[in-house]
Structure 1
Amino acid sequence: MNVYDKFRTYIWLVDILQRYGPISFQEIQQHWLETELSGGVELAKATFARYRTAIEDMFGLCVGCDAKNGYRYFIENVEVLHEDTIQNWMLSTLTVGNLLSDCLSVQDRILLEQVPCAGHLSTMVEAMKRKVRIEVTYRKYGADQVKQVEMEPYCIKLFHRRWYVLGHFYREATSDQEAQDYCALYAFDRMLQVKLTERSFELNPDFQAKNFFAYAWGIFVDPKLDPERVVVRAYDRERYYLRDLPIHFSQRSLGEGCEGNRVYEDFELYVCITWDFCSHLLSKSRYLKVMAPSALVSRIREMLHDSLALYEESVTVD
């Protein structure tokens, strides 16, 4: 079996354990023989044991065996599947790819979202692995001129179908300006060219990508802002959506209530209040109300007023 098919087999096995576990080896064997990967050949127990080890090494998932329950196999640390890690993202992506490769007969009925400019991804990853700076040719939205910057790629982040790189910059002090040490985000889809340099850099040992974005709703981080307690009230079906898809990892429910004939649920979260977070709240304003802090309530009210102003005395274009 080649490397590609081995990968597909690992993904298939994790999927089977998620869907049917605890499951016996005989049942796994039955599912295995129904796949094209098997080629009609049974899965040997020794091979299955190697796959269990590979899955733990690759994805951090421990495949246990319950001897008291008829030697049934299951994922011991299933909580790992809910963590926000690159392993889980890779596992999820590969699972979808594995599924689609077996669904060619209905491929025209499976619609996916396109992520633009993912082509720069391999260059960024290579730069991070080699710890070398990159030269980026970049054009901002609304700008006529192209800009060239050299940065240290600290991390990359996918958010709402757009890839971003967090670049670290250091500017030596001059007679006119103090030394500058800062990070800035650049979107892949605004990059015209990305080139590796031979100039190496050392990652700040105190930098942790997850911590850097911990209290950000999306990708914008303002070092001048501290996280604040935010309370939102979700009405009607919106409260179910927030339970399944929390706004932020810190979100927790404060309980339900009624306003007239409308049922609501209050949620608390701790985030830095940036403009993209406010825009997100505004996009849900029909079913979501900000309760605290008062400054955010005023800010959302002002944004709603500005939105309504766009429709006052407007001319309809047919």
Structure 2
Amino acid sequence: MKAYALFQQYAWLVNTIYRAGKITLEQINRRWLNTEMSGGVDISRSTFNRHRDAILNMFGIIIECDKKDGFRYYIYNAEVLEEDSIQNWMLSTLSVNSMLSDSKEVHDRILLESIPSDGENLHKFIDAMKSSVQIKLTYKKYGSDSPSEMTVEPYLVKLIKRRWYGIVKFPGEDGWMFILAFDRILSLELTKEKFDYPKDFDPQAFFRDSYGIVWDKNIPIETIRIRAFGRQAYFFRDLPMHHSQKELESTNEYTDFEVTLRPAAEFLGMLLSRGAYIKVLEPQWLADEMKKRHEDAAKLY
């Protein structure tokens, strides 16, 4: 069997068990036979066990059997599927691919968005991360008349809002990180110069207090209280603004939320895009800034 077909089966199996909470092999098999992937062939216990082992080795996801509860299977470490982890992203992507492959008769009714990026540069960037070597690249940022060349140390990559970003550091400069959009990289080559990736660097912690891709340690962390009107509260509940989001109070007219982060320009842009459906309550400086920006926008009309 081709590797891609196997990956589809792994994604389907994890997704089926995760969504069920707990499920027997017999129930899994019934759902399996309803997919085009099965070809009408049962999933045997030996195949199931091989898939379990492969899923553990590739994704670090543990499928356990509760013998005391009717021999039902469940995801032992389900938390990895509830985080912004590579396992979650890979399985989500594979699950969508599997769903699309199983829906050929309605392909023309499933509309997707493309992700603008040079896959070759992304591949090279990740190779450089694995080898801990510096990269030399040519980059043309927005608003610049000409591209610039630089040699940097590749630390991590991040996908957000359909764009791939690389987070890099200039050799010899302590502490400061720079964010590069892959669709603005004109060329990228690996060098032979090694660099020491800090063992104590935590990519998740790096963005923990940020919104989106903007990271600026000069912007202090603040607790922000936001009032959402109408249906906007449902959107914030389903798609939280930030992992720190808390719901404070809810009435028939509004719901108050709280987040703790560095309020950089990208966060303000998100708030402004909600128009009259949200109001910043605290801090006062941010409420004033929002008011000013709305007034400036209104003057354009």
- Could you tell me the TM-score, scaled by structure 2's length? 0.93
Does residue 154 of the first structure (1) align with residue 148 of the second (2)?
Answer: no
Give the structure 1 partner of residue 171 of structure 2: 170
Q: Separation in 1 of the partners of 2:217 and 2:15?
A: 41
Q: Separation in 1 of the partners of 2:82 and 2:34?
A: 29
Give the structure 2 partner of residue 315 of structure 1: none
Task: Provide the alpha-carbon RMSD of the alignment.
Answer: 1.8
Give the structure 1 partner of residue 187 of structure 2: 193
Give, in angstroms, the shift of residue 95 of structure 1.
0.7
Does residue 138 of the first structure (1) align with residue 139 of the second (2)?
Answer: yes
SS of the residue corresponding to residue 91 of structure 2 reads helix
Contact 1:136 1:192 in 2 (8 A): yes
Give the structure 2 partner of residue 96 of structure 1: 96
Give the structure 2 partner of residue 31 of structure 1: 31
- Which stretch of the first structure deviates more once superposed, 55-64 or 243-252? 55-64
Once the two structures are superposed, residues 79-123 of structure 1 have per-residue CA deviations (whole angstroms, 9 ceiling, x without a partner) of 332111011011101111111122222111111111101412211
Alignment of 1:216-227 (within 5 A): 216-227=210-221
Q: Separation in 1 of the partners of 2:25 and 2:265?
A: 53
Does residue 110 of the first structure (1) align with residue 110 of the second (2)?
Answer: yes
SS of the residue corresponding to residue 106 of structure 2 reads helix
Does residue 183 of the first structure (1) align with residue 174 of the second (2)?
Answer: no
Q: Separation in 1 of the partners of 2:20 and 2:224?
A: 40
Alignment of 1:15-30 (within 5 A): 15-30=15-30
1:300 aligned partner, one-letter code: M
Does residue 287 of the first structure (1) align with residue 277 of the second (2)?
Answer: yes
Give, in angstroms, the shift of residue 142 of structure 1.
1.9
Aligned length: 300
Give the structure 1 partner of residue 87 of structure 2: 87
Q: Which structure 2 segments of 5+ residues have no match?
A: none
1:281 aligned partner, one-letter code: L
- Which stretch of the first structure deviates more once superposed, 48-57 or 247-256? 48-57
2:290 aligned partner, one-letter code: I
1:52 aligned partner, one-letter code: R
Contact 2:225 2:282 in 1 (8 A): yes
Q: Which structure 1 segments of 5+ residues have no match?
A: 172-178, 312-318
Contact 2:153 2:171 in 1 (8 A): no
SS of the residue corresponding to residue 192 of structure 2 reads strand
Q: Separation in 2 of the partners of 1:125 and 1:254?
A: 41
SS of the residue corresponding to residue 281 of structure 2 reads strand
- Which stretch of the first structure deviates more once superposed, 301-310 or 28-37? 28-37
Tell me: CA distance 1:199–1:88, structure 2 relative to 1, closer, same or farther (3 Å): same
Q: Separation in 2 of the partners of 1:21 and 1:209?
A: 30
Give the structure 2 partner of residue 270 of structure 1: 260
2:32 aligned partner, one-letter code: W
2:133 aligned partner, one-letter code: V
SS of the residue corresponding to residue 186 of structure 1 reads strand
SS of the residue corresponding to residue 164 of structure 1 reads strand
2:126 aligned partner, one-letter code: V
Q: Which has the larger radius of gyration?
A: 1
Contact 1:170 1:182 in 2 (8 A): no
Does residue 247 of the first structure (1) align with residue 275 of the second (2)?
Answer: no
- Could you tell me the TM-score, scaled by structure 1's length? 0.88
Q: Separation in 2 of the partners of 1:47 and 1:56?
A: 14
Q: Separation in 2 of the partners of 1:52 and 1:170?
A: 43
2:191 aligned partner, one-letter code: T
